[in-house]
């Protein structure tokens, strides 16, 4: 039950972050900066929830020890990379929008796989 509730919370943070990122270039400089700041805040909240989901997957699933050690290193690095990509997109645009939209989604799918589908 807790994994499902946290999954819904992660989905809400992801939608809020994605909407903030997509509108980060639609205003003047102050509005764009404020929207990027909100997107980074939502991103950090999302990565915190994803870290909790991954630890729940480790506790109740069959995540190998080496994979969890890699995730302890990669989750903070990916969170920082997502925040940097949000900042870069708010400044210059381009196809870097894929990074903040794809990285949390991939990590969430790994957590679900590790919790429910892993052999």
pTM (predicted TM-score): 0.90
Model confidence pLDDT, tens digit, residues 30-79: 888 899 999 999 999 999 999 999 888 888 877 778 888 888 899 999 99
Dihedral angle, C-alpha 82, 70, 45, 117, nearest 10 °? 110
Q: Which residues of 91-106 are buried (b: 16+ CB within 10 A; e: fewer)?
A: eeeeeebebbbebbee
CA–CA–CA angle 100, 103, 104 (5° rounding): 90
Domain tally for the chain?
A: 1
Model confidence pLDDT, tens digit, residues 75-98: 999 999 999 999 999 888 888 899
pLDDT score, position 41: 96
Distance CA 109, CA 1 (A): 17
- Please determine, for residue 103, whether its predicted confidence score (pLDDT) is greater than 80: yes
Is 13:45 a contact under the CB 8 Å cutoff? yes
Distance CA 115, CA 107 (A): 12
Full domain range(s) for residue 21: 2-117
């Amino acid at each position: 039950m807790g994994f499902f509730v946290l999954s819904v919370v992660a989905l809400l943070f992801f939608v809020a972050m994605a909407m903030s990122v997509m509108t980060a270039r639609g205003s003047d400089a102050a509005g764009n900066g404020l929207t990027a700041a909100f997107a980074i805040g939502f991103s950090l909240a999302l990565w915190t929830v994803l870290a909790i989901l991954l630890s729940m997957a480790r506790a109740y699933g069959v995540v190998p020890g080496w994979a969890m050690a890699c995730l302890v290193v990669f989750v903070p690095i990916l969170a920082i990379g997502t925040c940097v990509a949000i900042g870069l997109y708010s400044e210059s645009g381009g196809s870097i929008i894929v990074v903040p939209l794809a990285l949390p989604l991939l990590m969430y799918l790994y957590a679900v796989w590790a919790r429910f589908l892993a052999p």
